[in-house]
Amino acid sequence: MKINAIICTRDRNNVTKTTDKLLRFFSSCGISVVLMSNAKSLFAAYKGAFEKLAPADEDIVIFCHDDIEIRDSSQDFINKLKESLVLPETGFVGPAGTTFLGQNAVWWDQDVWSWGKHRGKVSHINKNGAEYVTYYGNPGDVVVLDGLFLAAKAKTIREVGLEKPKYFEGEWDFYDIHYTSTAFFKGFTNKAISLDILHNSRGELVGRDSWHKNREAFIKHNQFPIKLED
């Protein structure tokens, strides 16, 4: 079993310190990285890189942002991935997600959070540069996951597909909700697992027009709520 990571970045010849640290971490884990740059579509970049890799069915493939830091030790990180993906019915795994996706299709919805439906945790940086932990809930099964970090067996990814839905206008947004909900609809079990990840972003991209357009299209083409059975 091999582990590969696919990352999109703006300029592969001039990466940030955070991206460089991430690349060095993956190297310490023996994980091969495909670093994509100047992509016009995240969907196309992920699909093209995955096809170029041509991983074996049991290989693990990671899709992640270039602005994260993984704090687990190399061995703990590898063990967590392998142990969480040992069952064939497991879909995607990642650090955070929800068991209930409501009509607004926003997975981190505050009301749903207050109901105890979210799972996982991620560290963030505030406006003043200070680090804080966003605790969503205990690890566990979810219907969708946040896209800062996703991992799955190659066989699962092939069944789910990486193509952009025809009804999406934007080339970069809502891929995580589409991929992980598709896995859920196909009968896979997605999981939020206890990864120790710092995300150097506060989610400003939700202000982009393409994010809203893709969200509206997703809402139009799905029935809600999307949830785990009680």
Span 86-103, pLDDT tens digits = 999 999 999 999 999 999
Query: Is 156:50 a contact under the CB 8 Å cutoff?
Result: no
Instruction: Identify the pLDDT of residue 128.
Output: 85
Domain CATH code at residue 27:
3.90.550.10
Query: Is 95:121 a contact under the CB 8 Å cutoff?
Result: yes
Which residues, listed in sequence order, are joined to residue 8 by a DSSP beta bridge?
A: 36
Instruction: Identify the pLDDT of residue 88.
Output: 96
| Domain count of the fold of the chain | 1
Q: Give residue 13's domain range.
A: 3-227
Instruction: Identify the pLDDT of residue 217.
Output: 97
Instruction: Identify the pLDDT of residue 207.
Output: 52
Q: Which residues of the chain are modeled with pLDDT < 70?
A: 202-208
Query: Is 63:148 a contact under the CB 8 Å cutoff?
Result: no
Residue carrying the six token digits 């207050």: 114
Q: Where are the alpha helices (DSSP H) in 14-153?
A: 17-28, 42-53, 74-84, 110-114
Instruction: Identify the pLDDT of residue 210.
Output: 85
Q: Where are the alpha helices (DSSP H) in the chain?
A: 17-28, 42-53, 74-84, 110-114, 154-160, 175-185, 209-220
Instruction: Identify the pLDDT of residue 45.
Output: 95
Instruction: Identify the pLDDT of residue 204.
Output: 54
Per-residue pLDDT tens digits for 155-205: 999 999 999 999 999 999 999 999 999 999 999 999 999 999 999 876 555
The structure's pTM equals: 0.95
